[in-house]
Amino acid sequence: RLKDLEIAKLGDSDVHVKMLAAPINPADINVIQGTYAILPPLPTVAGNEGVGEVLEVGRRVTGLKPGDRVVPAITGLGMWRTQGVFPEEKLMKVPSDIPLLCAAMLTVNPCTAFRMLTDFESLAPGDSVIQNAANSGVGQAVIQIAKAFGFKTINVVRDRPDLPKLVERLMALGANHVITEEMLRKPEMKEIFKSIPKPRLALNCVGGKSTTEMMRHLQPKGTMVTYGGMAKQPVTVPVGAFIFQDVRLRGFWMSQWRKEHMEDPEKVNTMMDTLYRLMRTEQLTPPACTQLPLEHYRAALEASMKPFTSSKQILL
C-alpha cells in the first residue's frame, strides 16, 4: 500500500534524504513474496536500491552536506518512498556528474557484474565468459564491463518472438555472441570456439537445464558462479564435469559481499571508481527503463513480473 508516514526526527548522525528514483529488482519482488534470504520485520518500506538528494544533515555528520546525491551502502533501507531519514554510515555519496538513472541502479547490478568478473578467475584480455539471462540488468552490465576490460562474451537468452531485436540490442552493447538456450546443445557452438577461446568463467542466473548445458562449454578447471535461480530448478552437474574437467561451482550474493567488506573501504572505492569511470565515458549505461511516478507502483510491479520484459521499472 501507499501510505503517508511521519518523517523520523533527525538525529545527530542522521541524514534527511529526498528520494529521486528507485528501480524494481527481482530481489525486491522476492522480499515482498517472503522468499528472500533476508526478510525485514513488518510493516516495512520496500526497495533495496535507489538514489536520493540530501536535504539536511545532523550536527555530527561530516561526510555529507545538503545537495549531495546518495545511494544506500547496505540493503534493506526501503527506497520506495519520497523522503527518509537514514544514519550517515548507511549511505554512500555519488558524484554529481553520474547520470540519475545510472546512480539509481548503481549498487546492485553493476556491482554484481564487476565482482563476478574480477573475483573468481584471473581473466586477461581475449579470455571469454559465458552467461545466461544475458538480457537481465546484471547480464547487460556484464557485457559492457567485459568489453571495457577486453573480455569476450557468449550470451545466452531464451527464445522469444522479438529475438532479432534483442540480439541487435545486446550486440550494440558489446556482446560478441548472442545465442538461445537451444543452441547450447547444437554443433554450431564449435564454430564460435574457432574465433574465441572456451570460457574459463560461466555466470548462472537461471539454474536447471540451461546451467547444465552451459557448463559443458567451460574450460577444464573453469568456474561457474551462480547468482540467481530464475527457473526455480536446482543446478545439476554431470559427474564427468567434476571428475574429468574439475570444474568449480561457486555462489555469489552482493549483499553478503557488502557485509564482509564493510571494513575494507579501499576495495569498495576501487570498484566504485571503476564503475564511475565507465559510466562517465558511456561504456556502462543503464538498461532500458520505464519511468513511473511512485503512486503508480502497482502497474510498475505488474510490469516487472511479466515474462520477457527487457525494460526495468523505475519509480520516480
At residue 309, does pLDDT exceed 80? Answer: no
Reported as a pLDDT band with limits 50, 70 and 90, residue 92 is very high
* Mean pLDDT across 98-105: 96
Residue 111 scores a pLDDT above 80: yes
- pLDDT, averaged across the chain: 95
Active site residue 276: no
Coil, strand or helix at 15: strand
Residues 295 and 210 occupy one common structural domain: no
CB atoms within 10 A of CB 106: 24
Kindly state whether residue 4 falls inside one of the protein's structural domains: no
| Torsion angles phi and psi, residue 302, rounded to 5 | -65, -45
- pLDDT greater than 80 at residue 242: yes
Residue 42 shares a structural domain with residue 77? yes
Domain-embedded: residue 54: yes
Q: Above 80 in pLDDT, residue 308?
A: no
Q: State the pLDDT confidence band at 262, using cuts at 50, 70 and 90.
A: confident
What mean pLDDT is predicted for residues 65-73? 97
Domain boundary among 254, 272, 301: 254
The verdict on residue 190 lying in a domain is yes
Give 183-208 pLDDT, tens digit per residue.
Answer: 999 998 999 999 999 999 999 999 99
Percent of the chain scored above 70 by pLDDT? 100
Check residue 254 and give its pLDDT: 95
**Domain shared by 151 and 92, yes or no:** no
C-alpha cell at 243: 571428475
Cis peptide before 110 (omega within 30 of 0): no
Residues 132 and 146 in one domain: yes
Q: Which of 236, 254, 272 is the last residue of a domain?
A: 254
- Considering the domain architecture, whether residues 170 and 220 belong to the same structural domain is answered as yes
Say if residues 129 and 203 touch (Cβ distance below 8 Å): yes
* pTM for the whole structure: 0.95
Closest CA to 284 of 275, 295, 293, 292: 275
Of 36, 227, 276, 297, the active-site residue reads 36
pLDDT category at 168 given cuts 50, 70, 90 is very high
How much is the average pLDDT of 274-284?
97
**Are both 18 and 29 inside the same structural domain?**
yes
3-class secondary structure, 270: helix
Please indicate, yes or no, whether residues 120 and 188 belong to a single structural domain of this protein.
yes
State whether 143 and 250 are in the same domain: yes
Summarised one tens digit per residue, pLDDT across range 116-153 is 999 999 999 999 999 999 999 999 999 999 999 999 99
Number of C-beta neighbours around residue 231 at 10 A: 18
Residues facing 251 on adjacent strands? 226
Q: How do beta strands 312-315 and 14-23 pair? A: antiparallel
Please list the residues that pair with 291 across neighbouring strands: 314
Q: Cβ distance 184 to 112 under 8 Å? A: no
| 278 belongs to a structural domain | no
Boundary of a domain, candidates 254, 274, 307: 254
pLDDT at res. 263: 85
Q: Mark whether 220 and 101 lie in a shared domain.
A: no
Nearest to 200 by CA among 125, 117, 129: 129
CA distances from 140 to 121, 129, 145, 154, 256 (A): 20, 13, 9, 12, 22
Q: Are residues 122 and 31 in the same domain?
A: no
**Whole-angstrom Cα distance, residue 38 to residue 44?**
13
pLDDT tens-digit readout, 4-59? 999 999 999 999 999 999 999 999 999 999 999 889 999 999 999 999 999 999 99
Q: How many domains are contained in the chain?
A: 2
Lowest mean pLDDT among 243-257, 264-278, 296-310: 296-310
105 vs 51, 102, 168, 178, 227, CA distance in Å? 8, 5, 23, 24, 17
Between CA 299 and CA 303 the distance in angstroms is 6
Would residue 298 count as lying in a domain?
A: yes
Measured distance CA(306)–CA(254) in Å, rounded? 24
Which residues fall within 8 angstroms of residue 87, CB to CB, at 6 or more apart?
11, 13, 14, 15
Judgement on whether residues 120 and 245 belong to the same structural domain of the protein: yes
- Residue 265 within a domain: no
Q: What is the CATH number of the domain that holds 213?
A: 3.40.50.720
Domain containing 81 — which CATH number?
3.90.180.10
Q: Is 129:146 a contact under the CB 8 Å cutoff?
A: yes
Instruction: Assess whether 191 and 123 both reside in one domain.
Output: yes
Residue ranges making up the domain that contains 95:
14-106+286-315
The alpha carbon of 281 is separated from its chain's Cα centroid by a whole number of angstroms, namely 20
Query: CA-CA distance, 150 to 230, in Å (whole number)?
Result: 28
pLDDT at 174: 98
